């Protein structure tokens, strides 16, 4: 199992200690602990955890505000813990991009499945984001090939299919990608 990095945030030291012990026993790496939302934001930025487990009601900055800020610079999952289950609080948590929400007192039997689901969601989102980046890159490469093909069509008086085949052949002979060859043609 790859060791996921977790940030634990609660204004009660005993709760932080209990959560950390449970997490470490389950094989997770607790990279840092914070006592308020402001520290959570700073530590999340510094440690880039896979998951932040955070209380809602804390001094300085509450967990929902901290979650909102963390989600702006990170794709980490956020699991909120609270003694309150008011509908407004749940709505605010949803709007802040919180992945999961547990009502205190939290048992280990409730916590571990919630963590696993939150981390699974994070992995799925990360995978989708990588797919999107790959598709964007392919689209950019395709645009470059299309522009180079257009240049070949006009300078060598080739048809579209002939220009594409010319690019393919040159790419194979020179052992470079069509996108790289196309960029070289456009730069020439």
Q: Is the pLDDT of residue 92 over 60?
A: yes
Quote the tokens at residue 95.
């709007």
Range(s) of the chain covered by CATH 1.10.10.10: 133-187
pLDDT tens track for 108-158: 888 999 999 999 888 898 889 899 999 999 999 999 999 999 999 999 998
Say what the pTM is: 0.74
Q: Which fold has domain 133-187?
A: Arc Repressor Mutant, subunit A (1.10.10)
Residue 11: how many CB atoms within 10 A of its CB? Answer: 18
- At 52, give phi and psi (nearest 5°): -115, 125
Predicted local distance difference test score (pLDDT) of residue 44:
96
Range(s) of the chain covered by CATH 3.40.50.2300: 5-106
Q: Classify domain 5-106 at the CATH superfamily level.
A: Response regulator (3.40.50.2300)
């Amino acid at each position: 199992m790859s060791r996921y990095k977790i940030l634990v945030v609660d204004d009660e030291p005993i709760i932080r200690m209990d959560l950390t012990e449970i997490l470490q026993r389950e094989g997770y790496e607790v990279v840092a602990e914070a006592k308020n939302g402001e520290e959570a934001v700073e530590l999340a930025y510094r440690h880039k955890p896979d998951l932040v487990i955070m209380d809602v009601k804390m001094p300085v900055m509450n967990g929902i505000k901290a979650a909102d800020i963390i989600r702006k610079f990170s794709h980490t999952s956020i699991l909120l813990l609270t003694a309150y289950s008011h509908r407004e609080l749940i709505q605010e948590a949803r709007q802040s991009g919180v992945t999961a929400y547990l009502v205190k007192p939290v048992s280990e039997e409730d916590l571990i499945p919630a963590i696993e689901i939150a981390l699974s969601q994070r992995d799925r989102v990360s995978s989708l984001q990588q797919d999107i980046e790959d598709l964007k890159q392919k689209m950019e490469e395709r645009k470059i090939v299309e522009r180079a093909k257009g240049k070949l069509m006009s300078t060598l008086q080739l048809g579209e299919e002939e220009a594409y085949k010319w690019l393919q052949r040159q790419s194979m002979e020179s052992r470079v990608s069509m996108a790289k060859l196309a960029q070289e043609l456009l730069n020439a």
